[in-house]
Amino acid sequence: MTDAVSLALDAGQTGIKVRVSRAGAAPVDRGFPGIRTDAPLLPQLAEVARVASVGAPVEVLAAGVSGLTSAEDDAAELRALVHELTPGRVLLTHDSVSSFLGTLGDQHGAVVASGTGVVTLAVGPGGVARVDGWGYLMGDAGSGFWLGRAALDAVMRAHDGRGPATSLTEVVQARWPVLEDAYVQLQSDAARVSVVAWFAEAVAARADTDAVAAGICASAAEELALSVTTALRRVDAAPVVSAIGGVFRGAAVRSGFEELLRAVHPEVRFEAPHGSGLDGVAALAALADGHPLRTLVSEA
């Protein structure tokens, strides 16, 4: 298939990153709107693949997907949905796997990825352990959504007189001038998850000057550190840790997280990412059969 392309899809709630590779040409990265976790995921991936391939046959289609459940973890079903692209191989996995591969590669250790949502994955002599990544209704402790939700809660508590005043109120009022109407407008917004997560940046920016924001960041750091120490313990892995995602751009969360991990593992080594989640998706096709993560990848 001389005109065939290989597609790597890093599918998150905020956006879908796609790498289109063709023999003899430099890869091209494209962006698409994020997946909706309240709708079937595989048809969404299939549509992005169709658009990104521009009708060319597909040699390899690999996808790392946020919110992927056992009900849809079926590469054969995805292959059937894009049958007209005549894919040679289809690989499908949770984005915690592709994030780990893109960040630590073949090393043992833990990767915590905190953006709109959050998931931690550890690989060690004891196998593989996933911690959290259970979505904004049941988990995602320390995620952007979690920070934003805590900010909104604090603002409404201050408004009621149940909590201390906070400069986060002015941030929320910039979006919803009438605070008492905010909850109705938010609940009716189809993009409410990303809207809530948007407030995380304001929390991080005010951590040095606002006690409420500082407390939220400290709590997020505690949750993220707990997830990592739990994952490392479950697989008996050496404390090699990489923390990725927008939440860790906040100095208060990152410094608190690292301090808490050092208290448990004085020998912890924090490692910069070797690559991105998209690099990890692209690496799925070359993942050895004996690799601990291979059992978490569906292939057809």
| 281 within 8 A of 275, measured Cβ to Cβ | no
In which band, very low, low, confident or very high, does the pLDDT at 210 lie, cut at 50, 70 and 90?
very high
With a cut of 80, say whether residue 297 has pLDDT above it.
yes
Q: CA 142, 247, 191 angle in degrees (round to 5)?
A: 85
In terms of average pLDDT, the best of 13-22, 198-207, 285-294 is: 198-207
**pLDDT score recorded for residue 69:** 87
| 46 within 8 A of 100, measured Cβ to Cβ | no
With a cut of 70, say whether residue 47 has pLDDT above it.
yes
* Token code pair at residue 7: 């597609």
> Whose structure tokens read 């978490």?
296
The number of residues making up the chain comes to 300
CA 105, chain centre distance (Å): 17
Q: Tell me the average pLDDT across 151-161.
A: 98
3-state DSSP of 17-74: EEEEEECCCCCEEEEEECCCCCCCHHHHHHHHHHHHHCCCCEEEEEEEECCCCCCCCC
* Token code pair at residue 137: 């209704």
**pLDDT score recorded for residue 67:** 82
Cα separation, 157 vs 292, whole angstroms: 46
With a cut of 60, say whether residue 282 has pLDDT above it.
yes
With a cut of 70, say whether residue 108 has pLDDT above it.
yes
With a cut of 80, say whether residue 162 has pLDDT above it.
yes
Cα separation, 54 vs 258, whole angstroms: 44
With a cut of 90, say whether residue 244 has pLDDT above it.
yes
Q: Tell me the average pLDDT across 188-204.
A: 95
**pLDDT score recorded for residue 2:** 54
Q: Tell me the average pLDDT across 267-288.
A: 93
Domains of the chain, first to last: 5-100+277-299 (3.30.420.40), 106-273 (3.30.420.40)
pLDDT digits (tens, 9 = 90+) for 60-79: 999 999 888 888 999 999 99
Query: Buried b / exposed e across 246-260, counting CB within 10 Å, b at 16+?
Result: bbbebebbbebbbeb
- Using a pLDDT cut of 70, give the percent of the chain over it: 99
Q: Is 99 left (phi over 0), alpha (psi -120 to 50) or beta?
A: alpha
With a cut of 90, say whether residue 89 has pLDDT above it.
yes
**pLDDT score recorded for residue 289:** 86
- Mean pLDDT score across all residues of the chain: 94
**pLDDT score recorded for residue 36:** 86
With a cut of 90, say whether residue 1 has pLDDT above it.
no
